[in-house]
Amino acid sequence: MLIRDIQKILDAEILCGEDALDTEVLSACGADLMSDVLAFVKEQSVLLTGLVNQQVVRTADMMDMRCIVFVRGKTPDSSVIDLACGRGMVVLRTGLRMYSACGRLYEAGLKSPE
């Protein structure tokens, strides 16, 4: 699925990375514990989280993730957005809760990492 599709499905605002919306992702991971992301993500994925700190970006970068979606309308500060942009990631924000956002992506065909 393209990040552009994810943005539309989640009615998400683009915070950075508009030039990379045609990047394909293979799965989605919803987590607020970055240790879970490190333990379970195995392939290019999009991370949905309610955490808004730099550790989220560093973890996503380590796992070669292309997109971070901040749920519940949370807005990271400029240092988090700048870090993600510098790493070539797309950053989105949606007002949806994590459960609903993950459910919409799953219904649209984006699976969890195996």
- Of the options 2.60.120.200, 3.40.1390.20, 3.40.50.9100, 3.40.47.10, the CATH number for the domain spanning 3-107: 3.40.1390.20
Q: Cα–Cα distances in Å, from 64 out to 3, 17, 75?
A: 15, 15, 22
What is the rounded CA–CA span in Å between residue 41 and residue 22?
Answer: 21
Q: Cα–Cα distances in Å, from 112 out to 45, 53, 75, 83?
A: 9, 23, 24, 26
Cα 70 from chain centroid (whole Å)? 7
Supply the pLDDT for residue 5.
Answer: 97
Q: Please calculate the CA angle 4-31-2 and round it to the nearest 5 degrees.
A: 15
In the numeric block, which tokens belong to residue 108? 């649209």
Instruction: Give domain limits for the chain.
Output: 3-107
Supply the pLDDT for residue 56.
Answer: 94
Q: Taking residues 28-33, report their average pLDDT.
A: 86
Confidence label for 24 from pLDDT (cuts 50, 70 and 90): very high
Q: Taking residues 52-71, report their average pLDDT.
A: 93
Supply the pLDDT for residue 87.
Answer: 95
